[in-house]
Chains A and B, each alone.
Chain A
Amino acid sequence: MNRVVITGIGTWSCLGKTLDEVKNSLFTGKSGIILDQSRKEMGYRSGLTGYVERPQLKGLLDRRQRAGMAEPAEYAYMATIEALKVAGIEQDFIDQNEVGIIYGNDSVAGATIEANDIVRAKKDTTLLGSGPIFQTMNCTATMNLSTIFKLKGINYTLGAACASGSHSIGMGYLMIKWGLQQQVICGGTQETNNYTFGAFDGLSAFSVRENEPAKASRPFDKGRDGLIPSGGAATVILESLESAQKRGANILAEVIGYGFSSNGDHISNSSVDGQTRSLSMAIREANIDAKEVDYINAHATSTPGGDKVEAQALSHIFGEYKTPVSSTKSMTGHECWMAGASEIVYSTLMMQNDFIAPNINFETPDEDSEKLNIIAETKEAKLNTILSNSFGFGGTNSTLIIKKFA
């Protein structure tokens, strides 16, 4: 079986549009959350959101390449060109190898609604043009990226709610581990337009601390009142160790474990049992002891119920080791389909730069989070092994473990 390494990372997020910007935001504990008045006018209960700039692709891609790209594909493209650059993978290499793509995405609400608005107004589907068919499918990111980069390997989109990005890395890891692929572009993307989150907002799941946007996302804090939706995209280039060494690539980290589970229970409630099984599987599969984990990048989204369950699951496995924990969602908000991938990017940046990003706004623990070693201020630390959790509606759980390459 192949060892699987990370040779490239890239992201386009509310924390920055380059890895350097994102690293600085993580280090300084900078929030990417704003209050968007247009959401209030639209009827949202909460107007809080991660602010993600829409990429300008004119000049980077020609008209035909751009025509079928919806917002998730645009974000994914920006994250991927950065990741490929970091990996040192150029088009020549892609042309000569069966490079694959598995990317997490679970909606294209904006493009779908806009296309149907045109049909309703014009009463003629042929006046939609050629773009919407490729924009409104969930696989808009993989469909477009595989065409732009002329990829010849595995090619599909993975939809698993807020664990999509994490599972995409997990599946890419398994593909390479079992020798079916040598290089896979993995990641997750999340649209941020106003059509995307209305139904989620309707569940009263979002924070309404609108007078303090930067303080609204407060995972594990006793005063948390909900998550803040966010988005963008993150790409992780996975490669077999053999391929990376043959290319002379700079190896950023190694993926050593992927655990997963399904709660087999409620559609939106979290489960200690389900999460514990995912965590245990990842640790078992990585062939490490739980105490070897130096840092946990928690899924914790700042919802009262979700954070409580994760704190219990983490406490169950890591409680006695007082493993440092933080949720970068305290700064980014919940990047949903993208989150599992972006949090691997954030974790890799921390590993490379010897620090733990803070769980900002963690001021008062509750009865569950007080049992965890939550890092509220940036901490310098040598991180050898990092575990990252991602959980989604429908009870889908994913846990990844990465290790400094040696």
Chain B
Amino acid sequence: MTEAEIIKTVNSFLVEEFEVDENKIKPGSNLRDTLELDSLDYVDLVVVIESNFGFKVKGEDFTTIHTFQDFYNYCYAKVKEKEIA
């Protein structure tokens, strides 16, 4: 997957599953605040990532993800890691 495809997929499932207004998704915006994520929502985020990209996020990984761009980068790196493996 290209980085553009990752971004498109992420935005698509965030709009669909988390019902966020697509216009609010900006690379520099804070992921948690924009999506209004609580602790339960992170559990659901793990599920949608697994079903879309086939890898499972470790809970501690979320501590390094602040912005949407961080999230895209994280997903891209994990997908590449999986493709190489």
Chain A contact residues, CB within 8 Å of chain B: 62-64, 67, 124, 126-131
Contact = CB atoms under 8 A, between A and B. Distances in A.
Contacts of A127: 46-47, 50, 56
B43 interface: yes
Given A64-B38, A67-B40, A128 B19 contact: no
Contacts of B47: 127-129
Contact of B43 (A63, A124, A130): A130
Contacts of B41: 64, 130
Contacts of A62: 19
Contacts of B18: 63
B18 to A, nearest CB: 6
A63 to B, nearest CB: 5
18 contacts: A63-B17, A63-B18, A64-B40, A64-B41, A67-B40, A67-B44, A124-B56, A126-B43, A126-B46, A127-B46, A127-B56, A129-B43, A129-B44, A129-B46, A129-B47, A130-B41, A130-B43, A131-B44
Given A124-B56, A126-B46, A127-B56, 11 more contacts: A63-B17, A63-B18, A63-B19, A127-B46, A127-B50, A128-B47, A129-B43, A129-B46, A129-B47, A130-B41, A130-B43
Interface of B: 17-19, 38, 40-41, 43-44, 46-47, 50, 56
Main secondary structure of the interface of A (DSSP, over half): helix
Main secondary structure of the interface of B (DSSP, over half): helix
Nearest to A131: B44
Nearest to A128: B47
A140 to B, nearest CB: 15
Nearest to A124: B56
Contacts of B19: 62-63
- A-B pairs with lowest CB-CB distance, top 7: A130-B40, A129-B47, A130-B43, A129-B44, A63-B19, A130-B44, A127-B47
A128 B51 CA distance: 11
Contacts of A131: 44
Contacts of B46: 126-127, 129
A346 to B, nearest CB: 37
Contacts of A129: 43-44, 46-47
Nearest to A62: B19
A37 to B, nearest CB: 30
